[in-house]
Structure 1
């Protein structure tokens, strides 16, 4: 991948013409909240426009001028009076410095005002539309990971009709589902709580677990692969619950194969590519072996369905 991390991040957040047409639908309240949350990362900021020129602008022209004088002295007669040159040029140096700072501020202002990503996110949440990608889930298996990031130890979750910041437990439920199209689809649900540094974390109560249904529509910010929500419908998906906790290497490989963040077309959100399908099948076999042969569990429709939040 030739793109650096920042460039890839910005491309992921910007509408991509290589993404094919999808069904458009009105936003749900949770999706609109997530859209506004994502938009806060791309607001126009006078701090970003002014701080670099004001901090570095007063010194850079002077440093460049003095370096130029030293080079001139080295290439000319050693008796050049640098103090006299500096004194005679002081007024011009101040003028050049002010012009340099003004040009830098203007450049930053025009750059941010014309930035396609910022312009997109300024209007997208108020348009009230998402794009839906539909999947039919045939069956699935549930496994677990315990991965804590001390630099990012909170979650945004939809609670009582609002996005709220909660403590991240590090525990995630991963569901590997087979679709009617014959692909593996990876879903992830993170849970709040207290973190344990043990490899095996504390599973949430059964009524808190992600309980997929067979019809899934993933809601995206229009023109992007940035997920804003999941919409489940239909009968409960047959699901095998396992106590399998992934190792660090397994988790890293699955995160790469799942395409949940910072990926480009033709990769699709949650869909495992053919080259990773064999490895995912082996992971499923190991998880299945942790509980032994058993039929998939058909969850009762009476069980409360939880509205999950984007990763």
Structure 2
């Protein structure tokens, strides 16, 4: 049976032994805040344990008894009066339903209290450790997309030393960079503000845009590929800033190739695999050509 979205989500946020060893480092404040956000989705909840047994237990137990009596009458005892049997046995039926509900509650409690994902996130933020994956960037190009989702119109942003929930403009900056190892590495930055349903949005001011450095370390929750933050260092990355806005098809394909969410080994966060490298190269060339075709965007011209 194929994994459903919830199973994939749980698997992505559970330590994977297939990942090799990585450098460990103390968490930064922003990374710890993000780890607590993710941990909040894996807390033990009595509502989840009790909801189904208490709401559905009496119905399921009663239906099971009725089906059992019907089969018994059909196969072994045609003379059985089901209505009279239920009336005579209602006390035992209530006891059976109670035992069934109690067993269901105990099963849910046993399952959730021993769930490896929940147990991992119970202690992970307090351990204060992340794993780092380093990349050296050689050059990059900045692309843009405008993809507002009315069902998910907020984002979390690190402001004044804490994560705050702000309105999502739908505008995303995509930095497609070439690494020293010869790979394409894709980074993205979402921006708050007023949204627009137009394909072409409004770029944020230059001082608010992402300006990567040549050294970047991706911080992960230990044992997973869940990114908790980026650490830039070194000289500024030579970055070609374009006004190229991705089409809907280009955005979907680039987001899939970037491996930022729900991906598994051998794929790596942000690293474009060999099958998509050619397409990314053509996309970069297309964006570069759009700059060359716009005289006013050439550096040094007014």
2:16 is paired with a residue of what secondary structure?
coil
Q: TM-score under structure 1 normalisation?
A: 0.92
Partner of residue 154, structure 2: 154
Q: Which whole-Å CA distance do the structure 1 matches of 2:230 and 2:257 have between them?
A: 19
Aligned pair count? 297
| Deviation of the 1:59 alpha carbon | 1.3
Partner of residue 3, structure 2: 3
Q: Which whole-Å CA distance do the structure 2 matches of 1:123 and 1:81 have between them?
A: 57
2:291 is paired with a residue of what secondary structure?
coil
Residues 109-157 of structure 1: CA deviation (Å, up to 9, x unaligned): 1111100000000000000000000000000000001111111110000
Worse-superposed segment, 150-159 or 284-293: 284-293
Maintained 8 Å contact 2:292/2:298: no
Partner of residue 254, structure 2: 254
Q: 1:95-106 alignment to 2 at 5 Å?
A: 95-106=95-106
Q: Which whole-Å CA distance do the structure 2 matches of 1:18 and 1:12 have between them?
A: 12
Q: TM-score under structure 2 normalisation?
A: 0.95
Q: Which whole-Å CA distance do the structure 2 matches of 1:139 and 1:173 have between them?
A: 16
The answer on 1:131 being equivalent to 2:136 is: no
Partner of residue 144, structure 1: 144
Partner of residue 237, structure 2: 237
Residues 158-182 of structure 1: CA deviation (Å, up to 9, x unaligned): 0000000000000000000000000
Q: Which whole-Å CA distance do the structure 2 matches of 1:73 and 1:102 have between them?
A: 28
| Deviation of the 1:73 alpha carbon | 3.1
Q: Which whole-Å CA distance do the structure 1 matches of 2:204 and 2:175 have between them?
A: 15
Q: Which whole-Å CA distance do the structure 1 matches of 2:33 and 2:77 have between them?
A: 69
Aligned-residue CA RMSD (Å): 1.7
| Deviation of the 1:78 alpha carbon | 4.8
Partner of residue 69, structure 2: 69
Maintained 8 Å contact 1:141/1:242: yes
The answer on 1:17 being equivalent to 2:20 is: no
Residues 59-115 of structure 1: CA deviation (Å, up to 9, x unaligned): 111111112222333335654322221112211111111111111111111111100
Maintained 8 Å contact 1:143/1:287: yes
| Deviation of the 1:17 alpha carbon | 0.6
1:49 is paired with a residue of what secondary structure?
helix
1:186 is paired with a residue of what secondary structure?
strand
Q: 1:130-279 alignment to 2 at 5 Å?
A: 130-279=130-279
Maintained 8 Å contact 2:44/2:113: yes
Maintained 8 Å contact 1:135/1:215: yes
Partner of residue 51, structure 1: 51
Partner of residue 36, structure 2: 36
1:156 is paired with a residue of what secondary structure?
strand
